[in-house]
Structure 1
Amino acid sequence: MLSLRLYMLQRITALLMAPLVIGHIAVMIYAIQGGLSAAEILGRTQGSVAWFLFYGLFVVAVSIHGAIGVRAVAHEWGGLKGAALDAAMWAIGLGLFALGARAVWAVTFA
């Protein structure tokens, strides 16, 4: 039952990430074509709750999606099972979340 839940959660996070990736790429293309500098981009994102929510959701989805994917690889290729497998998944997920959350905070509110 756990593997079905993880499978479905990974698919749901993929559905969330798809429009977020497209939105991110569209914004990057707009910024590059507009000739915006990093300072100008940060000037537009600092203090923005909308960008915080956009990229915050992105980080949560990627953290969950990536951790579940690494869990599957660690099980199939690394032979991890049981508590070690779950610990690896949680460590990867929390690590991805911590790095992503720090970046989102730096871009929007720091």
Structure 2
Amino acid sequence: MTEFRLYLIQRVTAALLLGLGLVHLGTILSATEAPLSAADILARTRASALWPIFYGVFVLAAATHAAIGLRTIAREWLGWRRDIWVMALWLALTGLGLRAVWGIA
């Protein structure tokens, strides 16, 4: 993939993360205002298919954004040119994140 494409993907994921992060923080604030237990929160997330989809997109955007950013840092600071570790990092972050999403689904 070209550097320009990676640059664009990172910018798009940054914009996505801004919006998704604000919704996430708003959700946390509303959940902590009312005294909800973990069981109450899970009951709400499991009642709707939108929450797992929302957090699935959040995970994919965060994993992609982080992997591209760390690739850039490794190339500039460490001189690494091989990108196989970037894919491994992306797969690990995505797998762990989607496992957590599965827990609320």
Deviation for aligned residue 1:52: 1.0
Cα distance in structure 1, aligned partners of 2:39 and 2:84: 39
Cα distance in structure 2, aligned partners of 1:7 and 1:19: 19
| Aligned partner letter, 1:80 | W
| 2:102 corresponds to | 105
Cα distance in structure 1, aligned partners of 2:95 and 2:101: 10
Question: 1:92 and 2:89 equivalent?
Answer: yes
Deviation for aligned residue 1:30: 0.4
| Aligned partner letter, 2:85 | A
TM-score, length of structure 2 as denominator length: 0.95
| Aligned partner letter, 2:90 | G
Cα distance in structure 2, aligned partners of 1:48 and 1:17: 21
Q: Kindly report which structure 2 residues correspond to 1:2-81, keeping only aligned pairs within 5 A, or say none.
A: 2-81=2-81
Which residues of structure 1 form unaligned runs of 5+?
none
Cα distance in structure 1, aligned partners of 2:86 and 2:48: 32
State the percentage of identical aligned residues.
45
- Kindly report structure 1 stretches of 4+ aligned residues shifted beyond 6 Å: none
TM-score, length of structure 1 as denominator length: 0.91
Cα distance in structure 2, aligned partners of 1:7 and 1:66: 12
| Aligned partner letter, 1:37 | S
Deviation for aligned residue 1:48: 2.3
Deviation for aligned residue 1:47: 4.6
Task: Tell me how large the CA RMSD over aligned residues is.
Answer: 1.1
